[in-house]
Structure 1
Amino acid sequence: MPSEIADHIANVSVIDTHSHLRGDYAWEGPDAPDILSDLFGWYSSSDLIVAGASLDAVARLQDGGNEDLEGRFAGVAAAWDVAQFTGYGEAVRIAARDLYEIELVSEQTIRAGQHRLQTLQRQGGCVALLRDRAKLDHVQTDLGLDVIDLPRTSAAFFLRDLSLRRFAIGAIDDPVIEAATGVTIRNLATLGQAMEALFARCAPLSIALKSQHAYVRTLAWHKRTDADAERAVRAVLGGGPGSGDPQSEARLCLGDWCLARGVELAGAYQLPIKLHTGYLANTGQLGTAMPVDRLRAGHLAPLLMEYPNARFVLMHIAYPYSDELIALAKHFGNVSVDLCWAWAINPLASKDFVRRFLHAVPMNKLFAFGDDATTPSMAYAYAVQMRRWLTRALEEEVADGFLTTRQAMDGATRLLRGNQLACFDIAGRQRAVRDATSTHERHPWPYRYDSGGSAPERCVP
């Protein structure tokens, strides 16, 4: 029988602070995943590769156009046998059992799961799965600067992060920036104008500013002068030797300058700043391309000191540098920490992180969940996984005499939604989105809303 704490955590409507969900039509339209590309289309495939599956076998596994489900799974069956007990594997098993009635994922069971998946991929099924089964209040999703087709009825459920990534890696020559802002960058002045135009267009309908530049460059930040940035603009746009390297001094200089301007603009529009820290995804596919020394959250200390009035959300518990992140949150009042994705990376480490955090930092600085998924089924699974491991963490605190049951339950509510409500202007942004959908049939950002009838012929990125 579930404990009082477990029952409470299982029924809180959770605020999901980080996702890559593309909305209803990516789930119910012609581009919808099949059972194998759903279960193994995102993080879990990396563990398969690390376990020994070939890149070709994983690519075939994820090929939804190939109807040979049994053959596709057979190529990774041996790897799955040893990878199923990781955090990623646990989430796959949760989705398979709860949603597709598969107790043991195998060649013999996968086809029956496909039929059950298709019953979930109905009109309105995406939000129903997230809101009613995963019990999510809403989703905050990072889709870069893409504009996505979305039913008008889902507008306030899928809130968008405003991506600063291209600016933060110094990629000012990326044509996506000009397309998104209408500004041709020729010098530092026009770079500033492009950033201002992006915020003017997108920030009023965004829930936060987001950057995951750690995938491309170091998190180390240095204050840059306008003169240095102007020289860097000329170097990058001039296309000289090495100017395309994200580790070049010119790109790093521009990234630092743009990150600072982004923080300032985020403040003007009252947006928290979400920053990826720690572990990188897809490392099984990237091989050795995870320079762990550059992923430490401590590299951000100069930025945190430079902008004491900004609201920073440091994501993914900076795994494996989690204690360093706790120290930052303890020292800087402008820092909150997000467990998004961390439960799936290493659920045991995340459980222990919660306990260490609560004994070092005021509990209003911790967010419990972000699904970091691309399909609602896996978002559901990650939510279930989080609730189970958070329950274990708080039950241990009670068993050890550090919390009463009531304090654990109240603390859980804070971690699952209360702290997020205090950090993000959720009601205000949802109101702004609803106003936008009522006055524009096809709004240019963040979604092309329609009346919510049926999926377009193909999902438009």
Structure 2
Amino acid sequence: MMSQLRERLSMALQSIALMDTHEHFVQEADRLKHGCDFFSYLHYVHCDLMSGGLALEKVSLEASALSSAQKKEAFFRHWPNVRFTGYGQALRIMAEDLFEVAEITPDTFAELNANAAALPRPGYYDTVLREGAKIVRACRIVWPHSSTMCDLDHLFPVPVFDHFATVASRGDLTLLEADTDVSIHNLHDLEAALDVAFAQRAEEGMVGVKNFLAYRRPISFEQVPAARAEEVLLRTTQAHADTPVGFEEARPLQDYMVHAIIRRAVERDLPIQIHTGFQNDNANFVDNTRPTRLVNLFMTYDAAKFVLLHGGWPYTQEFVALAKSFPNVYADMAWTYILGAGAAERLLGDLLDSVPANKILGFGGDYNFAEGAYAHAKLARRSIGRVLAGRIENETMSEDEALEVARMIMHDNGARLYGFAEFDSP
């Protein structure tokens, strides 16, 4: 049972608007073009199901060849093992709050599936996001060669420019040429194409940039002479798609272009989101993602605004130390509350103990669909409430001070960083 203090604090946090710093879901108009069912909402839960044994059966619930009945049978074989993970809790919140089914069981599945399919309809983003989750705006990651799918009212684009760094064949260059209408034959041309891409994305309302390379390589990006990068690029211009330049061989060009992207972000005063820590899916090299690999960037670009994502988990102490030390580093807790509430709460406590409060970004849903952001926001408010209640109980903060900090980390810090004019929570 909640104490009166914790109940008051929980109620107060419900009224604070969220600035959502990191999402993947598209604007409502695009979302409504595609049908869905219950299995459309698994997303991260599918990773836990695979980790818990589904992968050993050589079964994927994302495989279109499986019938709904086959998916149902496989899902419920493993659901009891994952229902209490952060991912599982988020799915349970979606089921109860949005699909209006209290329990996820074989007996409730038909109703659950029907209600999940019926939920998306015109205007439901307002109901789910603005009214339900109180997410007033969100930053959406925009992948290369794609439209923003942002309405510039609720969703704002944060494009990925990694494809300028990872070119490995003439085919890759041809795609960049098609996007930018720049012929690319040398390093100068590649940077000119990057300038065009930045201008295009700026016209589309870009509010930041995203580096996603932690999924493909260590996030150590050296200062590379232009001549060395040019050598790699010239080999790339002559490489066919079926015989591209090797990824390791291409690292000098990758490093050079990452620095080029950062410089352009600095020129436009754009925050630079960098994936640190745990990667999605079920097999990757997490050591590639250590936040301390980025220190040379922080020391080189003191005018940049580096946003380290996902708490750097499991390297959370590195994450905290960097945000404490470097004025140009911000700590973003996107994804963390569903990775694990306990770890997220320990991290938030460490951040509040060590890092200036104006540098803490307290929420990013990091979901492919708005319903997941709703559930994650509910879990985030619970965790933030527990951490701040502890601060009040140990007399580190008063109630008023705790609510002031809550408004900063939940809304105001992100709104300022991403250039929105309104700072006050509605």
TM-score normalised to structure 2 length? 0.91
d(CA) in 2 for partners of 1:82 and 1:121? 29
Aligned twin of 2:26: 22
Q: Tell me if structure 2 keeps the 8 A contact 1:73–1:106.
A: no
Match of 1:330 among 316, 324, 328: 324
Q: Deviations over 1:353-411 (max 9, x none)?
A: 00011111111111011111111111111111111111111111222221111111110
d(CA) in 2 for partners of 1:138 and 1:106? 34
Aligned twin of 1:398: 392
The one-letter code of the counterpart of 1:164 is F
Aligned twin of 1:277: 276
Q: 1:103 to 1:300 in 2, by over 3 A?
A: same
Aligned twin of 2:155: 158
Shift of 1:116: 2.4
Matches within 5 A, 1:126-137: 126-137=125-136
Q: Tell me if structure 1 keeps the 8 A contact 2:35–2:117.
A: no
Please say which of residues 113-122 and 195-204 is displaced more in the overlay. Answer: 113-122
Shift of 1:242: 7.9
- Please tell me whether residue 108 in structure 1 is matched to residue 102 in structure 2: no
d(CA) in 1 for partners of 2:302 and 2:48? 39
Aligned twin of 1:203: 202
The one-letter code of the counterpart of 1:44 is V
Structure 1: which 5+ residue stretches go unaligned? 429-461
Matches within 5 A, 1:336-415: 336-415=330-409
Match of 2:39 among 36, 41, 56: 36
d(CA) in 1 for partners of 2:239 and 2:76? 47
Shift of 1:65: 8.8
C-alpha RMSD of the superposition? 2.3
Shift of 1:307: 0.3
Matches within 5 A, 1:421-440: 421-427=415-421
Shift of 1:177: 2.1
SS of aligned partner of 1:395: helix
d(CA) in 1 for partners of 2:57 and 2:124? 32
d(CA) in 1 for partners of 2:367 and 2:168? 26
d(CA) in 2 for partners of 1:107 and 1:349? 31
Q: Deviations over 1:193-237 (max 9, x none)?
A: 011111111124101011111101110111011111111212333
Structure 2: which 5+ residue stretches go unaligned? none
Aligned twin of 1:96: 95
The one-letter code of the counterpart of 2:12 is H
SS of aligned partner of 1:230: helix
Please say which of residues 179-188 and 305-314 is displaced more in the overlay. Answer: 179-188
The one-letter code of the counterpart of 1:78 is R
Shift of 1:17: 0.7
The one-letter code of the counterpart of 1:163 is V
d(CA) in 2 for partners of 1:50 and 1:140? 29
Q: Deviations over 1:73-128 (max 9, x none)?
A: 21121211111111111111111111112222122112212332344211122343
Aligned twin of 1:263: 262
Q: 1:64 to 1:235 in 2, by over 3 A?
A: closer
Q: Tell me if structure 2 keeps the 8 A contact 1:24–1:127.
A: no
The one-letter code of the counterpart of 2:177 is E
Q: Tell me if structure 2 keeps the 8 A contact 1:221–1:300.
A: yes
SS of aligned partner of 1:328: helix
The one-letter code of the counterpart of 1:330 is K
Q: Deviations over 1:272-296 (max 9, x none)?
A: 111101111012xx3xxx2222210
Shift of 1:27: 2.9
Shift of 1:239: 2.6
Q: 1:339 to 1:172 in 2, by over 3 A?
A: farther
Q: Tell me if structure 2 keeps the 8 A contact 1:235–1:243.
A: no
Aligned twin of 1:45: 46
Shift of 1:167: 2.4
Aligned twin of 1:252: 251
> Relative contact order, CA 8 A, sep 6+: which one is greater?
1
The one-letter code of the counterpart of 1:25 is A
Match of 1:4 among 3, 8, 28: 8
SS of aligned partner of 1:142: strand
Q: Tell me if structure 2 keeps the 8 A contact 1:160–1:207.
A: yes
SS of aligned partner of 1:274: strand
SS of aligned partner of 2:308: strand
SS of aligned partner of 1:76: helix
d(CA) in 1 for partners of 2:78 and 2:166? 35
Q: Tell me if structure 1 keeps the 8 A contact 2:18–2:410.
A: yes
Q: 1:211 to 1:279 in 2, by over 3 A?
A: same
- Please tell me whether residue 299 in structure 1 is matched to residue 293 in structure 2: yes
d(CA) in 2 for partners of 1:412 and 1:112? 38
TM-score normalised to structure 1 length? 0.84
SS of aligned partner of 1:426: coil
The one-letter code of the counterpart of 1:33 is C
The one-letter code of the counterpart of 2:93 is I
Percent identity for Structure 1 against Structure 2: 27
Q: Tell me if structure 2 keeps the 8 A contact 1:272–1:424.
A: yes
d(CA) in 1 for partners of 2:70 and 2:185? 53
Shift of 1:413: 0.4
The one-letter code of the counterpart of 1:333 is P
Q: 1:170 to 1:308 in 2, by over 3 A?
A: farther
d(CA) in 2 for partners of 1:157 and 1:116? 25
The one-letter code of the counterpart of 1:54 is A
SS of aligned partner of 2:207: strand
Shift of 1:58: 5.3
